[in-house]
Amino acid sequence: MRWAAGTVYLKWARLDGDPFAITFWQLAFALLVIAACLPMVEGSLQVSQASMRSFLAMIFSGLVGSGLSYFLRFDIVRRLPASTASLGILAVPAVGILSSVILLGERPTLDDLIGFALIFMASACVLLWPQATAPTMRD
């Protein structure tokens, strides 16, 4: 829901800034919100039990996982219609399952295969939607 609202907002606001700068400021703001909410959830920041490997994994996840995905999202939303740009969100579960198959050797279940089929059908519906009746956000 938040990704959809964010995509619609980005198309409406027509932000012409550099995607890298927009990504940086969005992640910086998110860090401040998380830091402000931490005492309410955890009580205090407890880093004494964390290993260096955990810190490196957190930094990698934040910079590569979140940072790169937001950077690409802002660039894609600027170049494509919102309906097409939102197809990337549909791919998240499929990429997760395929990654677990490749990296962990897991086997997809029947539910996974049904999910793939539904994701494929949803993507096809968006891509094959007649352009004459598709909603657009033009000047």
Rounded to whole angstroms, how far apart are CA atoms 131 and 51?
A: 53
- How many CB atoms are closer than 10 A to CB 74? 22
> Is pLDDT above 60 for 23?
yes
Domain boundaries, the chain: 1-79, 81-139
d(CA 2, CA 52): 32
Q: What are the two backbone dihedrals, phi and then psi, of residue 16, each rounded to the nearest 5 degrees?
A: -100, 10
Task: Establish how many alpha carbons lie within 13 A of residue 102's alpha carbon, considering only the half-sphere containing its beta carbon.
Answer: 6
The residue with tokens 């937001």 is 70
pLDDT (average), residues 100-125? 85
The model's pTM: 0.47
pLDDT band at 132 (very low <50, low <70, confident <90, very high): very low
